[in-house]
Amino acid sequence: MDQSATYIYGVVPQDIEVDAEATGVGDPPAPITSIRHGKIAALVSDVSPGRPLGTPKDLYAHEQLLNATAAEVPVLPIRFGAVLASREAVVEEFLAPYHDEFAAALTELEGRSQFVIKGRFVEETVLGEILAENPEAAQLREEISTLPEDAARDHRIRLGEIINQSIEAKRDADTAAMWDQVEPVTVMQTVRPPSHELDAVHMAVLVENTRQDDLDRAVEDLARKWADQVTLSLFGPMAPYDFIVSQEQDGE
Amino acid sequence: MTVQPVGSRPGGGVQKGSSGSGLADVIDTILDKGLVIDAYVSVSLIGIEILSIDARIVVASVDTYLRFAEATNRLDLTKSRKPGLPEVVQTVTSGGGGQQAPQPEQLEQLEQTKERSPLEAAGDKLSDFSDAVPRQSRQEG
């Protein structure tokens, strides 16, 4: 540890208190401190520039600190891996120039947090549905079982392609259904790209903290309806990762 | 200070947690989302080496198709078995996937590498960490 740099997790209102026990990235994990400037503060910890970041432990530490924070106060989460040269640099180059922008965003987030809704098709069920709905798929399956493995390769690719397209169509339908289901109880929502080929729904929502129970109920209603077809999960509250965009990120 | 009581409710069927169920969910979130500090700061940003993490962009590939076909082939259409048998469920643990509806000639494997060097190490770590991580299957060569 020749020299240390400053790792940044997020921006919070200046009047928060950091738990003395809270730790962040690094090995051993460094204690979290705050750097205040005006109405806002940055959550930071010291980090050694010599050690690469990105172990699973580091990733969890970053996420858990922000989620724990988000459960209590508004927070602007910063993407994993941001390190500045010093604590002074955090103020001079980050907090001071953008103070008003950050303060305004925090005000807007007051009393709100993010949840992620994730649904995964039950493979056996969804495949059975597709075979029942699509005669070509059912026929290909029959043919494949009678052909030698090498000869059936094209058939198998075609069958898989049909299945993939059918799953995409079902995903779109389920995502739309979930969107309509939760829209009345949320402030904003955004669809995330699927993270798995069997994803049925992947969506982030921003919700008033007072309406979390309503969100629970809305998702549960659909979960009951989809019981055999889709496994649903609801994650949160977490920091509003999906609803914070800096201008230069827009084009991504 | 932070933990919300997380109760599974009978009949609801919604799994709950304060964050994602595994490292994959964490990666989806904190590596893909949130403020990018580079957009604000350029002077003293330090480029600490970040162990590579493959962000999984789900793109349908021939591998995916073959895997689906294989899974379909194993389906017992007589429905003599109840759904959710463990051996069937376990086939769901890996693979790429489909985002677009690609034409065959467009099939390709996209892999976005989030920053800088030693790729292998992190890949191994990730796979050790959780079998819930839907890793992207790679094509040879």
Q: Report the residue from A128, A160, A246 with minimal CB separation from B36.
A: A246
Distance (Å, whole) CA B92 – CA B52: 25
Q: For chain A, state the CA radius of gyration.
A: 23
Same domain? For A211 and A97 the reply is: no
Q: Which long-range contacts (CB under 8 A, 24 or more apart) does B24-27 make?
A: B24/A195, B24/B56, B24/B130, B24/B132, B24/B133, B24/B134, B25/A116, B25/A118, B25/A195, B25/A235, B26/A59, B26/A60, B26/A63, B27/A59, B27/B53, B27/B55, B27/B56, B27/B126
Domain boundary among A110, A137, A159: A110
The answer to whether B50 contacts chain A (CB < 8 Å) is yes
Instruction: Report the CATH number that the domain containing residue A232 is assigned in CATH.
Output: 3.30.70
Whether residues A151 and A226 fall in one domain: yes
Indicate yes or no: CB of A156 within 8 angstroms of CB of B69: yes
Model confidence at B13, pLDDT cuts 50, 70, 90, reads low
Please state, in angstroms and rounded to a whole number, the distance separating the CA atoms of residues B103 and A126: 22
pLDDT at B128 over 60: no
Looking at this protein, which amino acid is placed at residue A57?
A: K
Question: Which of B37, B117, B119, B135 best probes binding to A when mutated, by most A CB atoms within 10 angstroms?
Answer: B37
Q: Are A51 and A147 in the same domain?
A: no
Q: Tens of pLDDT along A1-43?
A: 457 899 999 999 999 888 888 999 988 999 999 999 999 999 9
Looking at the DSSP bridge assignments, the partners of residue B17 are: A235
Whether residue A46 has pLDDT greater than 50 = yes
Q: State whether A153 and A94 are in the same domain.
A: no
Per-residue confidence (pLDDT) for residue B42, from 0 to 100: 65
- Which parts of A112-152 fold into alpha helices (H)? 123-133, 135-146
pLDDT of residue B51: 73
- Give the least confident one: A71-75, A244-248, B60-64: A244-248
pLDDT class for B38, splitting at 50, 70, 90?
A: confident
Q: How many domains does chain A have?
A: 2
Q: Is A64 on the interface with B (CB under 8 A)?
A: yes
A167 touches chain B (CB under 8 A): yes
CA-atom Rg of chain B in angstroms: 19
What's the pLDDT score for residue A137?
Answer: 95
Same domain, A59 and A129: no
A172 and A59 inside one domain: no
Is A52 within 8 Å of B49 when comparing Cβ atoms? Answer: yes
A199 with A234, same domain? yes
In terms of domains, do A124 and A203 share one?
Answer: yes
Q: Please spell the DSSP secondary structure of A223-252, one letter per residue.
A: HHHTTTTEEEEEEEEE--GGG---GGGTT-
Amino acid B118: pLDDT: 37
Q: Does A232 touch chain B (CB under 8 A)?
A: yes
Look up the domain containing A51 and give its range: 5-110
Phi, psi of B64, rounded to the nearest 5 degrees: -60, -45
Q: CB distance A76–B29 less than 8 Å?
A: no
Is the Cβ pair B122, A54 closer than 8 Å? yes
Show Cβ contacts of residue A15 under 8 Å, excluding neighbours closer than 6 positions: none
Listed residues A55, A80, A110: the one ending a domain: A110
Q: How far is B130 from chain A (nearest CA, A)?
A: 10
Whether residue A133 is found in the same domain as residue A183: yes
Same domain, A106 and A118: no
> What pLDDT score was predicted for residue B52?
62
A107-165 per-position pLDDT tens digit:
999 999 999 999 999 999 999 999 999 999 999 999 998 888 788 889 999 999 999 99
A37 lies in the same domain as A117: no
Q: What is the pLDDT of residue A91?
A: 95
What's the CA gap between A65 and A75, in Å, rounded? 11
pLDDT in tens, A173-204: 999 999 999 999 999 999 998 888 999 999 99
Distance CA B115, CA A116 (A): 25
**Do A124 and A218 lie in a common domain?**
yes
